[in-house]
C-alpha cells in the first residue's frame, strides 16, 4: 500500500515523532525541526541523530518529510527579515539533510508590492545560498491564495524560475488546491486540475501529497484544514482525487486538526478505508 502518515510531534525529543508514527501504524511521517513560530533552531547531538536514523530505518518509515518554519519569508520588504529567513532556511535544510530527511517542504510567501520577476530573483537568491545536499530535496508547496503558488500554472512557473539542484519538485496540498479554486468534490474540478497539470505542470514533479479537507468553500483563498470527509471536499471528493492514476503511488501525509492522537487515528482510518475501496 502507498505510504500513509501524519505530521508527528518532536515534543521533548526528536525520537517522539517516530514513537507517534509507530503508534499510529504510519509508514511515512512529517515533522517540524523546532517550533515553527520561533527563529531559534536547536543543534541536535550526533548521538541523537544516529539513534533517530537507526529507529527510522528499523520501522521503515519512508519518506521522512520536514516542514519549513512558518516564519521564513525570502521576499519580505524588511531586509532584516530576509537575512534571518535565509539563515533559518539554510539551517533547517542542512539539519533536515543531517537527520536523513528525504524532503523539505516549504510554501513560499507572496508580496503584493513586488512583481513576479522580483519575487523569483529574491527567492532564488535564498535557495542558491544552500550548498548541494546529499539526500534531502526541497519541495515547493501549493498555497490557498498567492500569485506565485496557488494555481497550478503559477506554481510550476515559480518552480521553473527558482529551481536549482536542491529543488526537486512540488508538494500538493488538497485543502490549498480546493481553496485556490479546484473544486475536488466535483468532476469538473478534478478535470480542471488534471488539465492544468498536463498543460502547465508535470505529474512526475509531484513528490508527495498533503491530504487535508477544507473548512472553507472552493475558491475562498482561505487555508483552513478540516478532518477528512468532514469538510467541503468530502469523502466522495477524496475518492475522486485519489483515483487519479498519476498520483496513485505518491506518499500521503495528513495535517488534519489534532487535539490528541485519537484525531489522527480517526482520519487515518477514513483514508485507509478509501484506499481499500479503491483497490477492491
Nearest to 137 by CA among 105, 99, 103, 106: 103
For the cut 80, the answer to whether the pLDDT of residue 211 exceeds it is: yes
CB 205 within 8 A of CB 167: no
Mean pLDDT, residues 12-33: 97
The whole-number pLDDT of residue 66 equals 98
Those residues whose C-beta lies under 8 Å from the C-beta of residue 83, and which sit 6 or more positions away, are none
Q: Is the pLDDT of residue 266 over 90?
A: yes
pTM for this one? Answer: 0.97
What is the average pLDDT score of the chain? Answer: 96
Please state, in angstroms and rounded to a whole number, the distance separating the CA atoms of residues 214 and 31.
21
Where do we find the cell 512526475? 204
| 8-state DSSP, 198 | H
N-to-C CA span, the chain: 13
Torsion of CA 199, 203, 205, 206, to 10 degrees: 120
Give the confidence band of 280 by pLDDT, cuts at 50, 70, 90.
confident
pLDDT band at 275 (very low <50, low <70, confident <90, very high): very high
| Rounded Cα gap, residues 92 and 68, in angstroms | 7
- Please name every residue paired with 138 in a beta bridge, in sequence order, or none if there are none: 104, 167
Report the pLDDT averaged over residues 3-16: 97
Neighbours of 76 (CB within 10 A): 16
How many residues does the structure list for the chain?
A: 280
Residue 269: per-residue pLDDT: 98
- Average pLDDT for 95-99: 97
Residue 115 pLDDT class (50, 70, 90 cuts): very high
Bridge partners (DSSP) of residue 4 are 252
The share of the chain scoring above pLDDT 90, in percent, equals 96
Q: For 4-279, which CATH superfamily applies?
A: Divalent-metal-dependent TIM barrel enzymes (3.20.20.150)
| The predicted structure's pLDDT at residue 1 | 77
Task: Name the burial class of residue 63, with classes exposed (0-12), middle (13-18) and buried (19+) by CB atoms within 10 angstroms of its CB.
Answer: buried
Domain ranges of the chain: 4-279
How many helices (H) and strands (E) are present in the chain, helices listed first? 9, 10
Averaged pLDDT for residues 24-40 = 96
- What is the per-residue pLDDT across 155-208, written as a single tens digit (0 to 9) for each? 999 999 999 999 999 999 999 999 999 999 999 999 999 999 999 999 999 999
Mean pLDDT of 102-123: 95
Amino acid at each position: 500500500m502507498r505510504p500513509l502518515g501524519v505530521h508527528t510531534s518532536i515534543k521533548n525529543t526528536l525520537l517522539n515523532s517516530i514513537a507517534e508514527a509507530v503508534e499510529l501504524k504510519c509508514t511515512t511521517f512529517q515533522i517540524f525541526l523546532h517550533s515553527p513560530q520561533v527563529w531559534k533552531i536547536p543543534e541536535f547531538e550526533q548521538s541523537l541523530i544516529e539513534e533517530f536514523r537507526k529507529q527510522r530505518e528499523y520501522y521503515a518509515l519512508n519518506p521522512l518529510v520536514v516542514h519549513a518554519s512558518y516564519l521564513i519569508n525570502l521576499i519580505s520588504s524588511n531586509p532584516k527579515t530576509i537575512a534571518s529567513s535565509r539563515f533559518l532556511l539554510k539551517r533547517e535544510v542542512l539539519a533536515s539533510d543531517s537527520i536523513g530527511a528525504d524532503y523539505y517542504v516549504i510554501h513560499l510567501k507572496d508580496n503584493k508590492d513586488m512583481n513576479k520577476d522580483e519575487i523569483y530573483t529574491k527567492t532564488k537568491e535564498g535557495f542558491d545560498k544552500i550548498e548541494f545536499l546529499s539526500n534531502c530535496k526541497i519541495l515547493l508547496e501549493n498555497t490557498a491564495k498567492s500569485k506565485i503558488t496557488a494555481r497550478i500554472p503559477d506554481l510550476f512557473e515559480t518552480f521553473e524560475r527558482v529551481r536549482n539542484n536542491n529543488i526537486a519538485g512540488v508538494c500538493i496540498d488538497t485543502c490549498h488546491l480546493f481553496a485556490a479554486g479546484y473544486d475536488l468534490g466535483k468532476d469538473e474540478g478534478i478535470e480542471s486540475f488534471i488539465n492544468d497539470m498536463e498543460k502547465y505542470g508535470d505529474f512526475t514533479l509531484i513528490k508527495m501529497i498533503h491530504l487535508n479537507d477544507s473548512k472553507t468553500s472552493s475558491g475562498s483563498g482561505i487555508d483552513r484544514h478540516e478532518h477528512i470527509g468532514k469538510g467541503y471536499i468530502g469523502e466522495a471528493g477524496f475518492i475522486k482525487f485519489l483515483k487519479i492514476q498519476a498520483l496513485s503511488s505518491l506518499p500521503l501525509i495528513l495535517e488534519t486538526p489534532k487535539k490528541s492522537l485519537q484525531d489522527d487515528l480517526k482520519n487515518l482510518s477514513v483514508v485507509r478505508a478509501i484506499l481499500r475501496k479503491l483497490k477492491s
